[in-house]
């Protein structure tokens, strides 16, 4: 009898221990810890390690993802913007994304995440990454408030009635809504800020990207990704919708870039980064960035060149 009780007790204890171990394994499997690289930069050649981390964040089967900032030395606003946009995509897939640090934050990271903040341990959850210093704009539509906010920032650096910038912003968002994030429960993301008399604008959507948009339409399948993006900017492939009088957004953007109406233009989509420098596009490849990233700057010299161009075209009435 005693032996029977003892065996039953042992079996019960082993069952509880096995259950606890199973729960521990389950929880461990449902938490993914990703240590971000020292250089969390999106606009440069060495963006590969950071892009790989973004892919792991979205593709993991874990329900919770911790992005560890302990090793990060460079963490600009555009990096934070991309993480927020990617985290929203992960959220739509049933994941929660946390920014955390297993050690002290570097001053650069602290400046971006916490205005006037210092280092130390932190674990913050955004709506998709809530909190932080940057005033990001996110939406699923084109809103009048967006154009007004850009105009307000231009006025801060002495530029008024730069209609071409409003058109460009509207075209970029329109393309994202039609080709990128359509039928997805995600927004486009954008930020703009003035620094030393220059307005920088950064736009991100986590849709399928320009290359895959054309591939899905049966276009450019036998063209390299780099050449396909260049052809899209040149207007040689038209719209992925295959509708007439469409596909003008990217060529219009290219026109502004080549005429120096904007500066420091960078386009990142899928495996391609295009940077306009010294009068030409320079490209490099990297791991697949699922989405489209566009950044550029505007200064008084750009505005002056635009005014001069309008005058040469006999469009003084617009001024």
Q: What is the pLDDT of residue 143?
A: 66
Q: What is the pLDDT of residue 115?
A: 55
Q: What is the pLDDT of residue 34?
A: 92
Q: What is the pLDDT of residue 214?
A: 86
Q: What is the pLDDT of residue 299?
A: 95
All structural domains of the chain with their residue ranges: 33-134, 137-318
DSSP-assigned states of every residue in the chain: -HHHHHHHHHHHHHHHHHHHHHHHHHHHHTEEEEEPPSB--SSSGGGHHHHHHHHHHHH---SEEEEE-TT-SB--HHHHHHHHHHHHHHHHTT-EEEEE-SSPPPHHHHHHHSTT---S--EEE-SSS--SS---EEESS--HHHHHHHHHHHHHTT----HHHHHHHHHHHHHIIIIISTTSS--EEEEEEEETTEEEEEEEE-SS-HHHHHHHTT-STTS-HHHHHHHHHHTSS--TT--TT---HHHHHHHHHHTTSSEEEEEEEEEEEEEEETTEEEEEEEEEEEEEEEEEEE-HHHHHHHHHHHHHTT-GGG-
Q: What is the pLDDT of residue 240?
A: 56
Along the 319 residues of the chain, how does pLDDT read in single tens digits? Answer: 454 546 555 444 444 444 444 434 434 458 889 999 999 888 877 888 999 999 888 888 888 888 999 999 989 888 988 888 888 888 878 888 888 888 888 888 888 876 544 333 333 333 344 434 345 666 666 666 777 888 888 999 999 989 888 888 888 887 777 766 666 666 788 888 888 899 999 988 888 888 888 888 888 777 899 899 999 888 887 655 555 555 567 888 999 999 999 999 999 999 999 999 999 999 988 888 888 999 999 999 999 999 999 888 875 444 4
- Evaluate whether 230 touches 280 at the Cβ level (below 8 Å): no
What topology does CATH give the domain 137-318? Heat Shock Protein 90 (3.30.565)
Nearest Cα to Cα of residue 98 among 74, 133, 71, 122: 122
Q: What is the pLDDT of residue 125?
A: 33
- Evaluate whether 180 touches 81 at the Cβ level (below 8 Å): no
């Amino acid at each position: 009898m005693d032996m029977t009780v003892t065996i039953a007790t042992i079996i019960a204890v082993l069952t509880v221990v096995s259950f606890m171990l199973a729960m521990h394994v389950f929880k461990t499997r449902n938490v993914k810890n990703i240590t971000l690289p020292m250089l969390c930069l999106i606009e440069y050649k060495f963006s590969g390690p950071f892009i790989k981390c973004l892919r792991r964040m979205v593709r993991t089967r874990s329900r919770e993802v911790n992005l560890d900032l302990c090793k990060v030395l460079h963490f600009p606003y555009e990096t934070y913007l991309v993480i927020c946009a990617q985290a929203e995509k992960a959220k739509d897939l049933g994941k929660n994304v946390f920014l955390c640090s297993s050690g002290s934050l570097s001053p650069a990271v602290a400046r971006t995440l916490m205005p006037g903040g210092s280092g130390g341990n932190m674990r913050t959850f955004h709506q998709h990454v809530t909190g932080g210093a940057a005033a990001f704009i996110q939406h699923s539509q084109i809103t009048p408030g967006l154009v007004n906010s850009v105009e307000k920032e231009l006025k801060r650096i002495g530029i008024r009635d730069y209609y071409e910038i409003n058109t460009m912003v509207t075209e970029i968002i329109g393309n994202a809504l039609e080709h990128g994030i359509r039928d997805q429960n995600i927004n486009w993301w954008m930020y703009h800020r003035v620094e030393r008399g220059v307005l920088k604008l950064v736009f991100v959507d986590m849709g399928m990207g320009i290359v895959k948009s054309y591939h899905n339409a049966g276009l450019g399948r036998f063209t390299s990704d780099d050449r396909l993006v260049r052809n899209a900017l040149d207007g040689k492939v038209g719209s992925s919708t295959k509708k007439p009088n469409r596909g003008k957004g990217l060529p219009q953007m290219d026109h502004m870039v080549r005429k120096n109406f904007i500066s420091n233009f960078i386009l990142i989509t899928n495996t391609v980064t295009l940077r306009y420098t010294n009068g030409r596009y320079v490209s490099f490849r990297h791991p697949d960035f699922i989405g489209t990233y566009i950044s550029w700057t505007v200064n008084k010299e750009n505005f002056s060149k635009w005014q001069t161009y309008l005058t040469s075209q006999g469009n003084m009435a617009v001024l």
